[in-house]
Amino acid sequence: MAALPLPLNGAGLRLDQLVAADYPRYRALYVDPRVAGPCGLASGGEDALRTWIDAARSLPPSQGRAYALRHAGQERLAGMLRLTDWERQAGHLTLSYTLCPTLWGRGLMAGCLSPLLPWLFAGGLGEPIHRVQAWVLSGNQRSRQLLASLGFQHEGTLRGMLRLADGRHDICAYGLLAVDLPNSQPLCQSGQPGPAPCWGLHSKEMPA
């Protein structure tokens, strides 16, 4: 999988291949309680962390994608973006994301997802998507506000769905349908809609 180039403004997040050398930063990200807590992650030892990154790196394309996020020209891992549980026949997948806390509050994830979502619905992964869904810990207000700002609808709350060390937690279900997107998407420098031109991407550079 070829590395994807930076956004044209050079200040945002770029999607890239997750590699073995990312493990130290991956580990630091997921052992940080500011990340693990809102993500609803149970504490995992070294073996669990190795299993997680290996699973992300070996995710079959037929099931989705797992991308490393890198920031503003830096090579070190800044976060993760996952598109998983891809049901091709039904046309839906699950979105999840994580970002280093030092980068919170800058609008970086919104800037990454805003062009990515229309691209997904338009068939960027090879087939059009009808629905993108996300599952969020009820107390994760930052993520809930982000999803709402992107047009996701709160579709319900699964009470006591997740069990962590401090007890059971509710999970909020969010969904975005293709019909929820604005009818007109902004054009990029190439004059074509969708995120690929915005990021300076070409279809051959996108992972299949």
- CATH number assigned to the domain comprising residue 34: 3.40.630.30
Model confidence pLDDT, tens digit, residues 114-162: 999 999 999 989 898 999 999 999 988 999 999 999 999 999 999 998 8
The number of domains in the chain is: 1
Quick one: which of 117, 78, 87 has its CA closest to 196?
117
Sequence-separated contacts (24+) of 61-66 with Cβ below 8 Å: 61/207, 61/208, 62/86, 62/88, 64/93, 64/94, 64/125, 65/125, 65/207, 66/18
4 lies in some domain: no
Higher pLDDT, 172 or 10: 172
Asked whether residue 29 is domain-assigned, the answer is: yes
Structural domain boundaries enclosing 88: 13-205
Residue 137 lies in a domain: yes
Is 186 within the bounds of a domain? yes
Percent residues over pLDDT 70 in the chain:
78
CB 194 within 8 A of CB 124: yes
Q: pLDDT for 79-95, tens place per residue? A: 999 999 999 999 999 99
Q: Which residue has the higher pLDDT, 203 or 42?
A: 42
